[in-house]
Chains A and B, each alone.
Chain A
Amino acid sequence: MFIVKYIKEVFSGLKSLAIGLRLTLYYFTHHKEIITQQYPDNRETLNLPERFKGEVVMLHDENNEHACTGCTACELACPNGTIKIITKFDIATDGKKKKALDKFVYHLELCTMCNLCIVACPTDAIKMAQTFEHSVYDRSELTKILNKPGSEIREGVE
């Protein structure tokens, strides 16, 4: 019947509002747990969530070797042209020419931290770092070469 449905609607509406109000009242009266960080004060003890995305970095091991093959999958995946892969040709041990990474150019000022490049990389050569204090006085400092000078591709990574 119409009137029964109407009254039911009113009561279920009021009930759902009451549930919401109860939750916010709980937070209001239990304001011990604070989720925001008091940033400049606790710079040393900053506790960032695991999935916080600050900038793209390339992983290097102790032999100064990385896993980037120069396949440009990340460059293609990036929605706003942040990454530019410059490749070179290496002479492999068996004398064959082989394409390899020369420079991984990363424009931090264009990056939106969308994580798409990380997902696209077939060899997990890059990842997101948790640094976030990126202010500089000259924007050219934001253009970074991610592979360290003299670094080589790790043996066995194709």
Chain B
Amino acid sequence: MWSFSNISKFIDNWLRATFNPIWTMVIEMVIAGVCVIGLFAILGLVLVIMERKVSAWMQIRLGPNRVGPKGMLQSLADTVKLLVKEGMTPAGADKFLFNLAPFIAMMVAMLLMAPIAFAKDFQMWDLNIGVLYVSAVSSIMVISILIAGWASNNKYSLMGAMRSGAQIVSYELSAGLSILSIVVLSGSLNLNDIIQSQADGWWIFKGHIPVIIAFIIFIIAVTAETNRAPFDLAEAESELTAGFHTEYSGMKFALFFLAEYVNVFIVCAIGATLFLGGWMPFHIGHWQGFNHVMDYIPSSIWFFGKTFFLIFLIMWFRWTFPRLRIDQLLNLEWRYLLPISMFNILLVTLMAILGWHF
């Protein structure tokens, strides 16, 4: 049967038979790199058109409808536009850092792709501390934003960067705590083990109310971490023009833009893995028949389906809620999310010890 794991195994075997081990590894790394870049490009195109269509429909508009059938090729046209634009570097900017920042943003996004399981047995790097790795690497993102804001030599950029610093540093806490509640329940930091532990039901169903609370907090916190509305203070078009990327144009701006969307994809993939079972099909306890039927749907479709559902959720938030003020933002985190998630993790621990989940 055609599946991602079979294809990758086939390629691996063929390479091993044809080349010596070192070359095999080099070639496989190149293939993985090309796949990641290809996935980035596709994600950028798909998510941009999805965002524009979702926003249009939510605001009773039609959205892009000129390029291609029903405007579906609009993001290709956007890409071409960005490619042919001049990439300016402002005169007063710190040239090295200014040009470095978008690449850091992209690199972080690429690094985060490594431990995600896209389908059954299809993962770039099955490391045993996947959850820790993800939460550690994702905080490097703030460095690229701070560098971009500082190097632009522009008040708006600097203010946007500082806001985003305050925001990401504080929301990381509650994101981490809500992730931790799943780690407590499944007893492992390995993303694969976490997925396996959901074979008889996803955590969001097995874990009762505490896990649902953790899920809500997770979604709020990652929306803030990816700097998307209603937490887009780092960009805040109406106050700061475009925040940290005010001075960026052309392809450098496109890299930031792409990194934002890829980050949205990644956090949704992580959320789907932790709470909705990753590529694990929808299983209910020991209903063998039902579970078998569900197994016929390929695991990659489950994974992408759940991820895109969460992406839609985050887009839905963006086009519904107004932007928070900075003090409201910090209030929300330190007065509500953090105490609730701390209390919640105690509850989850109690549940895990007493075995109150299914």
| A35 / chain B contacts, CB cutoff of 8 Å | 60-61
Quote the shortest CB–CB distance from A38 to chain B (angstroms). Answer: 7
A19: nearest chain-B partner, CB-CB: B320
Evaluate contact between A24 and B58: CB separation under 8 angstroms.
Answer: yes
B97 at the interface (CB under 8 A from A): no
Known contacts A10-B336, A21-B316, A38-B62: does B321 contact A31 (CB below 8 Å)? no
B128 at the interface (CB under 8 A from A): no
Classify the secondary structure of A's interface with B: helix
| B321 / chain A contacts, CB cutoff of 8 Å | 17, 20
Quote the shortest CB–CB distance from A6 to chain B (angstroms). Answer: 8
Quote the shortest CB–CB distance from B2 to chain A (angstroms). Answer: 34
| B59 / chain A contacts, CB cutoff of 8 Å | 27
Evaluate contact between A27 and B316: CB separation under 8 angstroms.
Answer: no
B4 at the interface (CB under 8 A from A): no
- The proximity string for A residues 1-21 relative to B, scoring 1 for CB distances below 8 Å and 0 otherwise, is 000000000100000010011
A10 to B57, CA, bound (A): 30
- The proximity string for A residues 79-110 relative to B, scoring 1 for CB distances below 8 Å and 0 otherwise, is 00000000000000000000000000000000
Known contacts A17-B321, A21-B320: does B58 contact A28 (CB below 8 Å)? yes
A136 at the interface (CB under 8 A from B): no
A20 to B319, CA, bound (A): 10
Selected contact of A24 from candidates B61, B316, B336, B340, CB within 8 Å: B316
A34 at the interface (CB under 8 A from B): yes
Quote the shortest CB–CB distance from B156 to chain A (angstroms). Answer: 27
Quote the shortest CB–CB distance from A8 to chain B (angstroms). Answer: 12
| A27 / chain B contacts, CB cutoff of 8 Å | 57-60
B107 at the interface (CB under 8 A from A): no
A65 to B187, CA, bound (A): 89
A36 at the interface (CB under 8 A from B): yes
Quote the shortest CB–CB distance from B338 to chain A (angstroms). Answer: 13
A21 to B54, CA, bound (A): 13
| A24 / chain B contacts, CB cutoff of 8 Å | 58, 316, 319-320
A36 to B55, CA, bound (A): 14
Evaluate contact between B316 and A31: CB separation under 8 angstroms.
Answer: no
| A33 / chain B contacts, CB cutoff of 8 Å | 60
Q: Which 10 A-B pairs have the closest CB atoms?
A: A31-B57, A24-B320, A24-B58, A20-B320, A35-B60, A28-B57, A36-B61, A28-B58, A27-B58, A21-B320
**Besides A28-B316, A35-B60, 9 other A-B contacts (C-beta < 8 A):** A20-B320, A21-B317, A24-B319, A28-B57, A28-B58, A31-B60, A33-B60, A36-B61, A36-B62
Could you name 11 residue pairs across A and B whose Cβ atoms are closer than 8 Å?
Answer: A10-B336, A10-B340, A24-B58, A24-B319, A27-B57, A27-B58, A27-B60, A28-B58, A34-B60, A34-B62, A36-B62
